Structure 1
Amino acid sequence: MFAVLVGLLLVLAGPAGSARAAGGEGMDAFVAAYDLQSDGSMKVTETITWRFPTGQQQHGIFRNIVVRMGYDNQENRYRYFDLTDVAVSSPSGAPDTFRVIDNGAAKQIRIGSASEYTSGTQVYKVSYTLHNVLNPITADGKPATGTTPPATVELNYNVFGSNELTERDRVSVTVNAPAAATKVLCFSGPTGSTTECSSSPGDPSRFSAGPLASGDAMTVVASYPASAFGDVRPDVRNGGADSTVGSEAAPAVNAAAWIGGVGAPILALAVMGTLVWTRGRDERYAGLTPGLSPVPSAGGSGAGPDGPGGPGIVRGGSPTVAVQFQPPKGVQPGMVGTIIDETANPIDVSATVIDLAVRGFLRIEENEGGGMFSRTDWTLTRLDPPARERLLPYEQSLLDGIFSTRGDVVQLSELKNTFASTLKAIQRQMYQEVVTRGWFRSSPQTQRGAWQALGIVIAVLGGLLLFYGRPAISAILGGGFSGGVALGVGLLLAGVIVWVLGGRMAAKTAEGSAVLAQSLGFKEYLTTAEAGQIAFEEASNIFSRYLPYAVVFGVADRWARTFADVARAAEAANQPLLMPTWYVWSGTAFPDFTSIASGVESFSTTSTGTFTSTPGSSGSSGFGGGGFSGGGGGGSSSGSW
């Protein structure tokens, strides 16, 4: 968060090197060498001179390297850049242990040690290999297919993406290749910028830029004769890949392997079934009406949940749902969505944006589209925060993330392909919030993830044994080892069992179950409320307050129809209802509650896709007027921790 706020202040201050506040964090220098290989891969060596904030100690830095991008705007297809051969050192002596972890569409190289600190200015040398980076290009600048041979091979790569919030004083990139580059280009600035930075062709080609402000991307483009490379093509994948497992008949059977193959899934089912029964079922307060929590006695002891006279705790059973006429006290829409399905979904984040608008932190305004009822975009305007309103950490991160580098007014479409990493951080904070509130003993995402990761490991071991280990064991045993098939299949099944049942290991505490019962009771009210139950003087406020919850529950249209009936009754009684001011409708007719709810639902659906989107890569040429900053493949961002 500190880095985001610093980046925002620096962008507002101006683009010169003097714009950075004294003692601020940033890169003094980023020097990269890209060694292109004939197979289309790229060996990368980065030398990063990092200046930590004055007077602060940090553990180290991280680099997010994009490895997965959309391809040609095709659904369920993506381009993949495999990341291998990672190595890290620090010539300046900073802690240089590292680990590589998944971070959405990127792989994060996290450098440093949680038990060590560093400060001042440090130098890090990071090397890795990215595969299938180069693009085969035809003579007319289009991606070469299997039937059309390439005329050139092109590097069109984002050195930095627009989600790089760290300021960089000086950036230098050298590209070595099997042949000299015939053409080069370099772009820097916000996504879509055609501002060129310094570039020179040859062997090697050289590119430089700086200073680069928070949010500035940088893309380098270099063209080479196709004859200097082999069969270069992008690695484009479907959302899932089918595989088949073969077997070979052999007379000798290894008894131990067969026993392991049959026993592995049985053991996995027995162990995981026991764990789900004893630890994976939700806790509940015994002897209390569902939805109620024990009230601590004076002094904080006695009949509270932990006191000697308090209710017991049991596991299992389904909650009895009673209608609740209000949402759980102090529970925001995003928290309701998280407790119901134990997942911080993007729709929960979208509903939080709507809730922040209802509470006065921002305004949502439709931009009129091409048709009478067509909505193409929304304008989000940050407002002065209401008095005495305190935002939760994930709400503050969401508000700051929307307006971090674009001032107080932003188009929803401007967040496309740049918000995914911010979304991940917000979701982590939402999981932490449910733990802080005592609804889970640890993050449900972590609980599920740890077991499901174990399932994947077991299944991968089974697959490796099937395809690679079995021939090796056969050679050791003198051939005739068919038990490897049984063991491999058994481990695959065991892995699937652990993965499936591991997804049920996120158990709520008794307090979490009470909040769940209240939330389901409130959903029941939203889906059954009648117009006659709602007083005219409270109607407008209730409509806005409860609409974000209706979005989470998926009943916004039902809630709107109820209020359409309320509005007609109020109009007949000469007490017309006031329309919400936090959402500005673009329709030509006077808005009603149905049109407001419809617009909010459309905003929620669109924003969910916008928040999760990542940049696409088509493999087309970056020359010929089509290049711009952030328009290549891959990309990276950085930070400290």
Structure 2
Amino acid sequence: MSPNPPFVDAASRRQTSHRSRRQRRARGVSYPGIGATIIGGAVVAALFLPATTASARDAADQAQIQSYQATVRVEKNGSLHVAETVVYDFSVTSASAVKREIVTRESYDAESDRVYTLDNVVVDAVQTDVDATITTDGGRAAIDVEFSEPQTDTVTLTFNYDVAGAVAETADGLEVRWPVVQGFQQPIATARVEWNATDVIWLSCLAGPAGSSRPCTMSQLVDVSTPTMEQKGLASGEQMVGILGLNADSGVAPSTDLQSRWSIARSFTANGAPVYVALAVLLFGLLFPTWLWLSRGRDTAGREPREVRPMTAMGDRMLFSPPSAVRPGQMGTIVDERADVVDVSSTIVDLAVRNYIFVEELSRTQHGRHDWMLRRRNDAGDELLPYEREVFDAIFSGRAEVRVSELEGVLRNRISDVRALMYDDMVGQGWFKERPDAVRSRWTTAGWVLLGAGAVLTVVLALASSFGLVGLSVVIAGAALAAVGQVTPARTAKGSRVLAELKEFRAFLESPAVEAMPTGQREELISRFFPYALVFGLGERWADELAATDTDDTPGEPIYWYGAPENWHLSDAAPTMMRLTTALSGAIATRRLLGD
């Protein structure tokens, strides 16, 4: 389809006629001071003529659109059918392709975008074959048109397409708004748009850059066969926007598609339905961990604890009697509900104190490493608890002796079994209904899974809706469940009673009553209390009490469970025994063997 020649000729005649009238008025009018005006005008012309001439030359050197004509038909379903005829002039600069863009998404207000659906795009040319490619990105559809060969003259292109989303419902009826002329990279000399619509009650036309409020050269609703708009001179990239008002009874359906624009504030809306749903989810998410702690996480109240007497007299001897005959490893596990490194290292020391292991400090050079030899003294009998036998067997593994420095390799494969037996012992003693580690792991894992799901849900909801707070509520609920899971293991009534007794026992260990011990038994009794003191972090205090029993400067006999090099003094007990326990803990803790 070729452009309408009468339209172009008429425009040219109007431009010529207007220029002639302006010239006649200028010649027939004189003003006071005209000489100064002419001189000033000459100076200005001298300054700006080169730049103006260069701009005119650049404009003349580029391709342009001689004329643009379009017919826009408003369909009953609210879509628009646009048929365009565009005459390009490549007589100055040849071209192998042209490009234009059509908006598919634009800002509507502070929170929403107006979305248009482009369909049935057809591009053709009168003088040559073309190949058109359409790509959509960033709210615009780019139409790239390639010619079969470079063009050096005028080329008439036709663009036909359907667009939905341009008809909006208003209080007075319907409003059709569409930037018909848009996205051309060349300046347009003249543009004319005719509308084919029923019950048009008003017409408006805006021209210029996007968002411009400048009226078009002409927009006419009466005395014409169809609503018509014209614009003289559009720069590259400028638009010509047509706005029609239709009667509410026109039969045209609204097609506006308003979509909320994504933003952090919108994704995490703190009002209306999003906040109510988020609060409901958060309330339930916090109620469950609270119920879990109240029903399963609190210890069962036990009977009044028995009087704690760590030492009892029997004749002229003082007997060691820990509360409820608890062992050091048991004591640490029931207090903090975890089988820790110190619980295992104190068990090894306790086995030595009870004559199952003999510890011999090895000689060393001045700057050598401290090391000890652990020797089997007695076989592990039935009097040992299962976890104690496992520790004993893991240390020796069929051998008679082993260095402390070698325990890392010896215990590595069996220390997890020791922990499991310690937890089983908690249930076997009736102090817990379930293994503390299993209960803690169950609910902590559930909490972390819920937290992870909440994080994923937060991202999905934030990207797709305004309910991002709902996902955050799930995250908080998961964190709360994971936190409660750490304190969920609950002691039975028996376990609570033993725990109360151990609190009194700790008070005794914090203030050693060494003076109440018979002088001849102090080494033995302090040795028995020592592994228990290690569990509570009081080992050094009891080691000092043992060293304080050395009242002379002569070398003494080593402790009954601890062999020392020559010239060893009992006053050396404090640093020696603490180095031993540190070495044991270090060997056991290697590679986080007991880490949760």
TM-score (norm 2): 0.49
Which protein is richer in strand relative to its size?
Answer: 2
Which protein is richer in helix relative to its size?
Answer: 2
